[in-house]
Amino acid sequence: MDFSKIEELNRKLKSLQPLNETEMKRLREEFVIENTYDSNAIEGNTLTLRETALIIKGGITIADKSVREHLAIIGHKDAFEYITTLATNNTELTTRVIKDIHSFVLLNDAVNKGVYRRIPVTITGAAHTPPPPYLVPVQMEALMGDFEGMKQNVHIIEAIAEFHLRFESIHPFLDGNGRLGRLIVNLELLKAGLLPVNIKFKDRMKYYDCFDNTYLINGRTSDALAELIARYETEELIRQIEILEQKANMPY
């Protein structure tokens, strides 16, 4: 895959006069709201984008919506803030860090948050069956080790896509794996100096297809997820460049 356009756009973004702290905070808040909505909606959360914004910005409780759905919104928002701090500190991705992020994601479940699953699971409608629980720690450690090699041998977006596919196939936790996996995608994008991406609810079938068609005939992993992440990254870069250029051209 050719990532030259992303590299070019990223260089252009970094060459422009950045937003001030207040402006950055506003844009970040808008992104977190949309990302929290979409990531939870993919997993079946019924709160709307507007309701998600009301919970995050105003702490408002939405009538007729469950406590579980409210906590999923709050937990994801807190998890995103946490990965932003991790990225700023260039924190190494470890199984301990993954469990810590999961503790935010599964805010509603004190027993299972940050704990690998201890029972076998199946994923409804998926062609793949996750490994038995006794293999989860082994496969997670193998994935962490392999990820370092991936980052050395392929573009970071390809490495992140490969990690995400394998992470979701392991399905290490009883619940919250999808939201957690997408947060890890953004953590690693931020650490690589790129922008976080928002895999949208409307694109969920394209996203699901990346997992159903993971392995090609020759045994190599599919490029579909890397292409999806790259498209979102390109769109985010263009959007932020346009914002900065519009600000630079405004009369004062």
- Mind listing the pLDDT tens digit for each residue in 233-247? 999 999 999 999 999
pLDDT 10s digits, 221-236 = 568 999 999 999 999 9
pLDDT at 249: 87
Reported as a single tens digit per residue, the pLDDT across 123-153 is: 776 667 899 999 999 999 999 999 999 999 9
CATH topology of domain 4-248: Fic-like fold (1.10.3290)
Active-site residues, by number, are 171
The whole-angstrom distance between residue 217's C-alpha and the CA centroid of its chain comes to: 28
The token duo for 170 is 């392991």
| Model pLDDT, residue 218 | 40
Using a pLDDT cut of 70, give the percent of the chain over it. Answer: 94
Q: Is pLDDT of 216 > 50?
A: no
* Confidence band of 215 (pLDDT split at 50, 70, 90): very low
Q: Which long-range contacts (CB under 8 A, 24 or more apart) does 155-158 make?
A: 155/1, 155/3, 155/226, 156/188, 156/189, 156/192, 156/194, 157/1, 157/3, 157/6, 157/189, 157/194, 157/226, 157/229, 157/230, 157/233, 158/1, 158/223, 158/226
